Amino acid sequence: MYICLMKLEEGRGKFIQAWGSLGSSWGISKSMAQIHALLLSFPEGLSADEIMEQVQLSRGNVNTNVRELINWRLVRKETVLGERKEFFVALHDVHTIAQNIMEERKRREIEPVRRLLSELKATTFEGDATEIKHFQTLINDLADFVSQMENLMGLMTKINSNTYLKKMIKAIS
């Protein structure tokens, strides 16, 4: 096993950069992912000013992205008695984070596609019979795939909410 000595701030910086790059791959802004990583890396909340200083972003960018993280249920706002500032705290339970991301992506991405495919399945098309048959087969196959994805996400939800199943899967892997 390789052991490396590194200052916490350096490790935190690497984590924030990597999480930001991953976020871009997942379809969220790099800034939003970096703020999420920063908040994940602290056990306590940070103020908007602290976030701005750490990730070198403008106040508007921080406020917009923190609001979006709250909408995704990945971050919550807290007030501290005697403080005028608001503090933002990330959820730290990995299973809950994954669950909230899956639910939000389902709402934003899968459900609109499912509705469109249902609409197209119920439509009568005019045109070349061979092309219509090909298109209808495509729509049906995609609808089946989306349905399977929704079932898989439902299964993941059940696993994430069942402590026994989580422990069993961890023991198997």
Q: What tens digit of pLDDT does each residue of 137-154 get?
A: 999 999 999 999 888 888
Region for residue 56 given its phi and psi (left: phi exceeds 0; alpha: psi -120 to 50; beta: otherwise): left
| Per-domain residue ranges of the chain | 8-90, 94-172
Q: What dotted CATH number matches 8-90?
A: 1.10.10.10
The DSSP 8-state label assigned to residue 124 in this structure reads P
SS (H, E, C) 57-72: CCHHHHHHHHHHHHHC
Identify the weakest region by mean pLDDT among 11-20, 67-76, 162-171. Answer: 162-171
CA 55 to chain centre: 20
pTM attached to this predicted model? 0.77
